[in-house]
C-alpha cells in the first residue's frame, strides 16, 4: 500500500452531500433533497434521512478554528461538507503530530464512536469550512437498525486505522527527501489533482505531517527548488520534474 492509497479513502463519501449555495442564497437543504448520495447514504430510506435531518446542525468555521478538541466529550459525529481539515494529536511538550488530512464529504470523530466517551483526536480547519453536527444517539440508532449503513461505517473506521498504521510504518522507513517528495505528490494527486497548487500548511505543519523538523522540511524544499524539481514561491508549488520527484518518493 503506497502513500497515495493510504490517503485516497478520504474521497470515500459516507453521507449525502448537501449542495452549497452562494452566501446570498445560502439555505440549509433537507437531506431528503440531496441529489448526491454515496455508500452509507445510498442505503438509507426516506424516514432515516429525515431522522438525520431532524438531528443535525450546520455550522461554518474559519481557517485555523478548532472543530473538535482532543479530550472533549463525544456528543456528535461531524460531517465535513466543504474544505480541508487536519486531524492531529498533541504529544510531549504540546508538539503536534498530524495524523492525516481530511477532505470534504467525510466524517470527523468516527474513530471515537465505538470507544469511550471522549474524542481522542483534535480537528482544525485548514481553510474556511462548513460542517453538519449529527447527534451521536441518532447515529447509533441508524447503525443498529440498518445493517448496511453500519457495515459502511465499520469499513470506514477499519480503513482509517489500517491506513494510518501503514502510513506511519512506511514513513519510518523513509529518509527526509522521500518524506517531503511524498507530501508534495500527495497534495498534487490527492488533494488538488494538479501539478500546481498552494500548500494549506505552514512549514511547521508540513513537518508535523511527515515527522521531521521544520528546518529539515525547509531545507529539502529549497533543494528541490534549486534542482528544478519544483518551482517554489512561499506556499505556492509547481512541479516541474514529476518523474524525478516520483523517483525520490519511491527510493525513499
- Tell me which residue of 203, 245, 206 sits closest to 228, measured CA to CA: 245
- pLDDT score, position 146: 85
pLDDT tens for the chain, 252 residues: list them: 444 444 444 444 343 433 333 333 344 566 666 554 455 666 777 787 778 778 788 899 999 999 999 999 888 888 888 899 999 998 777 788 888 888 888 888 887 777 778 888 999 999 999 998 888 888 888 888 888 888 888 887 787 778 777 777 777 788 999 999 989 998 898 888 899 999 988 999 999 989 899 999 999 999 999 999 999 998 999 999 999 999 999 887
- pLDDT score, position 39: 54
- pLDDT score, position 245: 96
What phi and psi values does residue 241 have, to the nearest 5 degrees? Answer: -135, 80
Sequence ranges of the domains in the chain: 3-171, 175-251
Say how far apart CA 91 and CA 99 lie, in whole Å: 12
Nine-digit cell string for 28: 440549509
CATH number listed for the domain at residues 3-171: 2.60.120.10
Which are the contacts of 31, defined by CB distance < 8 A and separation ≥ 6?
16, 18, 49, 50, 52, 53, 56
CATH number listed for the domain at residues 175-251: 1.10.10.10
Q: Write down the pTM of the prediction.
A: 0.78
Amino acid at each position: 500500500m503506497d502513500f497515495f492509497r493510504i490517503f485516497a479513502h478520504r474521497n470515500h463519501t459516507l453521507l449525502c452531500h448537501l449542495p452549497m449555495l452562494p452566501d446570498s442564497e445560502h439555505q440549509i437543504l433537507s437531506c431528503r433533497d440531496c441529489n448526491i448520495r454515496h455508500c452509507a447514504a445510498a442505503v438509507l430510506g426516506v424516514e432515516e434521512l429525515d431522522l438525520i435531518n431532524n438531528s443535525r446542525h450546520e455550522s461554518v468555521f474559519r481557517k485555523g478554528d478548532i472543530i473538535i478538541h482532543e479530550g472533549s466529550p463525544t456528543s456528535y459525529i461531524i460531517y465535513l461538507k466543504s474544505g480541508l481539515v487536519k486531524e492531529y494529536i498533541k504529544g510531549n511538550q504540546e508538539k503536534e503530530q498530524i495524523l492525516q488530512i481530511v477532505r470534504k464529504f467525510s466524517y470527523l470523530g468516527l474513530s471515537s464512536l465505538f470507544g469511550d466517551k471522549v474524542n481522542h483526536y483534535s480537528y482544525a480547519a485548514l481553510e474556511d469550512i462548513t460542517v453538519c453536527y449529527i447527534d451521536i444517539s441518532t447515529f447509533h440508532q441508524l447503525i443498529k437498525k440498518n445493517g448496511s449503513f453500519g457495515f459502511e461505517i465499520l469499513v470506514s473506521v477499519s480503513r482509517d486505522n489500517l491506513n494510518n498504521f501503514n502510513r506511519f510504518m512506511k514513513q519510518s522507513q523513509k529518509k527526509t527527501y522521500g518524506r517531503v517528495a511524498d507530501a508534495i505528490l500527495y497534495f498534487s494527486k490527492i488533494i488538488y489533482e494538479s501539478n500546481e497548487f498552494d500548500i494549506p500548511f505552514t512549514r511547521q505543519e508540513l513537518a508535523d505531517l511527515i515527522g521531521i523538523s521544520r528546518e529539515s522540511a525547509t531545507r529539502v524544499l529549497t533543494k528541490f527548488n534549486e534542482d528544478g524539481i519544483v518551482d517554489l514561491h512561499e506556499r505556492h508549488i509547481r512541479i516541474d520534474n514529476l518523474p524525478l520527484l516520483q523517483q525520490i518518493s519511491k527510493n525513499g
